[in-house]
Amino acid sequence: MRFFVVFGLLALSNGADDLAKGWGDEIAWRTLNDGLVEAKESQKPLMLLIHKSWCGACKALKPQFADSEEIRTLSEQFVMVNVQDDEEPKDPKYAPDGSYIPRILFLDSNGEVKRNINNAENNPSYKYYYSDPHQITAMMKSALASASKEEL
């Protein structure tokens, strides 16, 4: 009986509330639906991280992302959304140049993908693929600059 109680408590503490999925517990992660609503209300840009639990490239990027103080600091200016496996949205707008993983997309506060904010210099065939935190922070800064210009 004790096993079931302990297991139940662990399931509750690590279940739906664990939106970080290892990508940074200090980041205020949201579900996609909640994030879209929050972005609209707050007028903040949204950063969407799409990955799979079995993906080698995702596993390699995850600890670097989670350990990046700069990503953590910049994340405070975004609505941060992290989707894994079956949570990946099916709408083709979230796969602007393919459904490879990991993919990081930047959306405006109205939920529109900002196709011009991408990592095309790294590989033009996979514009939304990032392999290190420096690439990600550069695009986070670009997304913030773009959002500021749109407010004018």
pLDDT single digits (tens) 104-129: 999 999 999 999 999 988 889 999 99
Residue 47 lies in a domain: yes
Mean pLDDT for the stretch of residues 132-137: 96
For residue 89, the domain's CATH number is 3.40.30.10
Residue 6 lies in a domain: no
**pTM for this structure?**
0.87
Between 7 and 81, the higher pLDDT residue: 81
Confidence of residue 148 (pLDDT cuts 50, 70, 90): confident
CA–CA–CA angle 47, 51, 52 (5° rounding): 160
List the alpha helices (DSSP H) in the chain. Answer: 2-14, 32-42, 56-67, 69-75, 133-151
Residue 113 lies in a domain: yes
| Alpha carbon distance 148, 135 (integer Å) | 20
Residue 52 lies in a domain: yes
Confidence of residue 17 (pLDDT cuts 50, 70, 90): low
Residue 115 lies in a domain: yes
Peptide bond into 102 cis (omega under 30): yes
94 token code pair: 């979230």
Question: What is the domain range of residue 54?
Answer: 20-151
Residue 116 lies in a domain: yes
Residue 40 lies in a domain: yes
Residue 8 lies in a domain: no
Q: Phi then psi for 62, rounded to 5 degrees?
A: -50, -55
Q: Provide the pairing of β-strand 46-51 with 79-84.
A: parallel
Torsion of CA 111, 123, 144, 55, to 10 degrees: 60
Q: Phi then psi for 84, rounded to 5 degrees?
A: -135, 145
Domain count within the chain: 1
Residue 149 has pLDDT above 90, yes or no: no
